[in-house]
Structure 1
Amino acid sequence: MSYSEQLLDSIEKQDFSQQKILLKKALNNDKPEILASLAENLTDLGFTDLSKQVYRALIAKFPKEDLFKVYLAEILLNDGDDDDGLSLLYNVSESSPTYVDSLLVQADYYQTNGLLETAKTKLLKALKIDPDEDAIKFGLAELDYLSGKYEEALPIYQDLIKRQKNFSEVNLNQRIFQTLAKLGQYEDASKIIKEHSEDILDIDSKYQAGLVMLSVGDYDQAIKYLDSVIEQSPDYVNAYPLLAEAYEHKHDDNQVLHAAQTGLAYNELDQVLYSKGARAAANLKDFKTAEKLLKKGLKVAPDNNDLRLQLSNLYLSEHKDKENLDLFASIDDDDIEPQAYWNMAISYERMDNSDKAKSEFLLAYPEFKDNSIFLKQMIRFFSTEANSDEIVKQLLERYLKLVPEDYEMQDLYNQLQ
Structure 2
Amino acid sequence: MDRVNKIISMLENGQHNEALNEYNVLLQSGMPDEKYLLSEELYQYGFLDEAKALVENLLEMYPEEGELLVLLSEILIEAGEEEEAILILEKISEHDANFGQSLLLLADLYQVQGLYEVCENKLLKAKEILPNEIIIDFALGELYSEQGEIRQAMAAYEKVLTEESEIAGVNIHQRMADLLSTSGLFEEALVYYDKALDEKLEINTLFGYAFTALQAGYNRTAIEKFNELKELDPEYHSLYLHLAMAYEREEELENSIRAIKEGIKQDEFNKELFFYGGKISIKLGKIEEAEQLFREAIALDPGFTEAALTLNKLLFQQERHEDVLDLISALDIAEDEEPQFLWDSALALEKLEKFSSALDKYESAYTFFKNNEAFLQDYGYFLVEEGKSDLAAEIFKQLLIKDPTNFEYLDLVERLNDFKD
TM-score (normalised: structure 1): 0.70
Q: CA deviation at 1:107?
A: 1.3
- SS in structure 1 opposite 2:111? helix
Q: Structure 1 residues 4 and 99 mapped into 2: Cα distance closer, same or farther (>3 Å)?
A: same
| Pair 1:267-2:270 in alignment | yes
CA RMSD of aligned residues (A): 4.0
Partner residue, 1:143? 143
Give the letter aligned to residue 46 of structure 1. G
- SS in structure 1 opposite 2:118? helix
| Pair 1:131-2:131 in alignment | yes
1:148-297 alignment runs, 5 A limit: 148-199=148-199, 204-223=204-223, 225-226=225-226, 228=229, 232=233, 234=235, 236=237, 238-260=238-260, 262-263=263-264, 265-268=268-271, 270=272, 273-295=273-295
Supply the distance in 2 between the matched residues of 1:8 and 1:315 (Cα, whole angstroms). Answer: 73
Q: Structure 1 residues 305 and 177 mapped into 2: Cα distance closer, same or farther (>3 Å)?
A: closer
> Which stretch of structure 1 is more off in the superposition, 83-92 or 256-265?
256-265
Supply the distance in 1 between the matched residues of 2:304 and 2:8 (Cα, whole angstroms). Answer: 63
Q: CA deviation at 1:13?
A: 1.3
Residue by residue over 1:104-124, the C-alpha shift from the partner in whole angstroms, topping out at 9 and shown as x without a partner, is 111112223333333222212
- SS in structure 2 opposite 1:321? coil
1:43-54 alignment runs, 5 A limit: 43-54=43-54
Aligned sequence identity (%): 23
Partner residue, 1:407? none
Partner residue, 1:312? 313
Q: CA deviation at 1:35?
A: 3.7
Give the letter aligned to residue 267 of structure 1. N
Supply the distance in 1 between the matched residues of 2:132 and 2:180 (Cα, whole angstroms). Answer: 25
| Pair 1:321-2:322 in alignment | no
Supply the distance in 2 between the matched residues of 1:21 and 1:144 (Cα, whole angstroms). Answer: 49
Q: Which runs of 5+ in 1 are unaligned?
A: 354-358, 370-381, 388-417
Supply the distance in 1 between the matched residues of 2:294 and 2:120 (Cα, whole angstroms). Answer: 49
Q: Structure 1 residues 314 and 109 mapped into 2: Cα distance closer, same or farther (>3 Å)?
A: same
Supply the distance in 2 between the matched residues of 1:340 and 1:248 (Cα, whole angstroms). Answer: 32
Supply the distance in 2 between the matched residues of 1:72 and 1:148 (Cα, whole angstroms). Answer: 33
Partner residue, 1:119? 119
Q: Structure 1 residues 230 and 104 mapped into 2: Cα distance closer, same or farther (>3 Å)?
A: farther
Q: CA deviation at 1:289?
A: 1.0
- SS in structure 2 opposite 1:94? coil
1:70–1:102 Cα contact (<8 Å) kept: yes
Supply the distance in 2 between the matched residues of 1:312 and 1:201 (Cα, whole angstroms). Answer: 45
Q: Which runs of 5+ in 2 are unaligned?
A: 326-343, 347-360, 386-391, 412-421
Q: Structure 1 residues 54 and 91 mapped into 2: Cα distance closer, same or farther (>3 Å)?
A: same
Supply the distance in 1 between the matched residues of 2:345 and 2:60 (Cα, whole angstroms). Answer: 81
Residue by residue over 1:121-159, the C-alpha shift from the partner in whole angstroms, topping out at 9 and shown as x without a partner, is 221222233333212221111011111212210111112
TM-score (normalised: structure 2): 0.69
